């Protein structure tokens, strides 16, 4: 049983190396300027290994976007689940998701930079995939907002779709600004500032008392 799983683990490790090499190179010099040869060299594998795992550079990048956003989505879901399991409020869950998002971006700044840049492009082969995975991430936040409204903790006037997208966008943009222009600030400091925004604009606005 152990030997049967080994090839799968090995291939997963190779794909992770290729993802890391691709995201770093593309962040440095752009998608068009990055070659398969460079990705293979940065990952420390043969060029044929790239094509064994992905049919093209485009497919590699598409899967990179999918993989990264799925990791972010899992982190957001786990953060909300831990708060719910501990008896916290829905606003507490949103706050924990903000921190989880910042922590993810702190770990993967190059991926986040690419992801945000690609959201603004409309002529890429992977646009459909990008929209699907974006919806998955935003949907996790929507679920918490929807539950908060249903339970009376949050106002019924909240536009759930737009608010969820705004919260995700707030974390992405604030974190990129943090990394680019205020790197001396700690994650806790940035989280504290965004937490105040959340508490003031979303929290504490349930049904009339």
Tens digit of pLDDT for each residue in 130-159? 888 889 999 999 999 999 999 999 999 999
* Per-residue pLDDT, 9: 66
User: Which region among 3-7, 37-41, 80-84, 160-164 has the lowest average model confidence (pLDDT)?
Assistant: 3-7
Question: Could you say which DSSP state residue 31 is in?
Answer: T
* Per-residue pLDDT, 1: 34
* 16 pLDDT higher than 70: yes
* Per-residue pLDDT, 117: 83
Q: pLDDT band for position 113 (50/70/90)? A: confident
* Per-residue pLDDT, 203: 61
Most confident range (mean pLDDT) of 65-79, 104-118, 193-207 is 65-79
**Cβ neighbours, 10 Å, residue 180:** 10
* Per-residue pLDDT, 7: 54
In which residue are the tokens 């990952």 written? 43
Question: Could you say which DSSP state residue 120 is in?
Answer: T
**Cβ neighbours, 10 Å, residue 116:** 15
* 207 pLDDT higher than 60: no
* 61 pLDDT higher than 70: yes
Overall average pLDDT of the 100-123 stretch: 88
Own/partner long-range contacts of 36-40 (Cβ < 8 Å, ≥24 apart): none
* Per-residue pLDDT, 125: 79
CB-based contact 94:141 (threshold 8 Å)? yes
User: Which region among 2-6, 48-52, 116-120 has the lowest average model confidence (pLDDT)?
Assistant: 2-6
User: Which region among 67-71, 80-84, 90-94, 189-193 has the lowest average model confidence (pLDDT)?
Assistant: 67-71
* Per-residue pLDDT, 128: 86
In which residue are the tokens 């049967």 written? 4
């Amino acid at each position: 049983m152990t030997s049967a799983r080994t090839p799968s683990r090995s291939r997963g490790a190779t794909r992770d190396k290729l993802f890391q090499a691709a995201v770093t190179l593309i962040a440095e010099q752009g998608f068009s300027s990055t070659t398969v040869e460079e990705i293979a060299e940065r990952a420390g594998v043969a060029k044929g290994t790239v094509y064994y795992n992905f049919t093209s550079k485009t497919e590699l990048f598409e899967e990179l976007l999918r993989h990264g956003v799925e990791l972010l989505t899992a982190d957001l879901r786990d953060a909300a689940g831990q708060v719910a399991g501990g008896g916290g409020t829905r606003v507490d869950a949103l706050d924990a998701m903000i921190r989880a998002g910042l922590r993810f971006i702190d770990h993967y700044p190059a991926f986040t930079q690419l992801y945000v840049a690609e959201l603004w492009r409309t002529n890429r082969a992977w646009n459909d995939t990008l929209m699907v995975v974006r919806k998955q991430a935003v949907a996790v936040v929507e679920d918490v907002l929807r539950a908060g409204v249903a339970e009376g903790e949050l106002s019924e006037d909240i536009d759930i779709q737009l608010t969820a997208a705004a919260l995700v966008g707030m974390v992405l943009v604030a974190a990129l600004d943090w990394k680019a222009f205020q790197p001396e600030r700690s994650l806790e400091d940035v989280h504290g500032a965004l937490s105040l925004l959340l508490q003031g604009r979303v929290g504490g606005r349930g049904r009339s008392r």
